A and B are shown apart, each in its own frame.
Chain A
Amino acid sequence: DAKTTQPNSMESNEEEPVHLPCNHSTISGTDYIHWYRQLPSQGPEYVIHGLTSNVNNRMASLAIAEDRKSSTLILHRATLRDAAVYYCILRDTNAGKSTFGDGTTLTVKP
């Protein structure tokens, strides 16, 4: 399985941007890059996904490197409610197996 690696933890101040990195050097051409977050005591929640181009939605932006071996999730203005574990995963076009890594625990300080 193509794997992803992320920093174990990151901190941010409230109202500041946050850049969460993810490495996926073994990504295949058919893998989509997905980001999910898990708030305490909840199930993971979809954040954003992309294939090659950068993507924006109401929750975040996703910047994908030209070689697709890394990506960055960008939260433009972190709020206390953004404190969660963020997972970067790869999903193939058949949406079969998706391997979750350890994720990044984001702490947002007021």
Chain B
Amino acid sequence: DTAVSQTPKYLVTQMGNDKSIKCEQNLGHDTMYWYKQDSKKFLKIMFSYNNKELIINETVPNRFSPKSPDKAHLNLHINSLELGDSAVYFCASSHRTTGSRSTGELFFGEGSRLTVL
């Protein structure tokens, strides 16, 4: 069973298009995240949702809009795609608190490689 699954795994599209990446976790976690990994392999957090509520929103262009229909899903919609959006996008999930009840361990999906032409 896949713990954190993302679709699609690969996405090639033209500049200016709108695209979505979906993420689902079956771990019962209450917090989900989107990370962006650029060509230099640097992992940068973009958004985090806890129980469907946005708790982290880094300096990300408004063209990026996350949506969490329920605790198990966090989708990422990107409008008017630009060349600089090309990257691998990772979804992750965790329990929010770290301590006796959980490690706060992040579980990552396998990534969605977005190429904007």
Taking Cβ atoms with an 8 Å cutoff, the residues of A that contact B are: 32, 34, 36, 41-46, 49, 85, 87, 91-100, 102-103
Contacts and interface: CB of A to CB of B under 8 A. Distances in A.
B105 A93 contact: no
Given A44-B108, A46-B106, 20 more contacts: A32-B104, A36-B106, A41-B111, A42-B111, A43-B108, A43-B109, A44-B90, A46-B107, A49-B98, A49-B103, A49-B104, A85-B41, A87-B43, A94-B98, A95-B31, A95-B104, A96-B96, A98-B106, A102-B41, A103-B41
Contacts of B109: 43
A92 B48 CA distance: 14
A44 B35 CA distance: 11
Contacts of A100: 35, 42-45
B4 to A, nearest CB: 8
A55 to B, nearest CB: 10
Interface of B: 4, 31, 35, 41-45, 48, 55-56, 90, 92, 94-99, 102-111
7 contacts: A46-B105, A46-B106, A46-B107, A49-B103, A93-B99, A95-B98, A100-B45
Contacts, number: 69
A103 B41 CA distance: 9
B90 to A, nearest CB: 5
Nearest to B103: A49
A98 B108 contact: no
B96 A44 contact: no
Greatest chain B CB density within 10 A among A43, A87, A94, A100 is at A43
Contacts of A32: 98, 104
A4 to B, nearest CB: 12
Contact of A97 (B43, B56, B99): B56
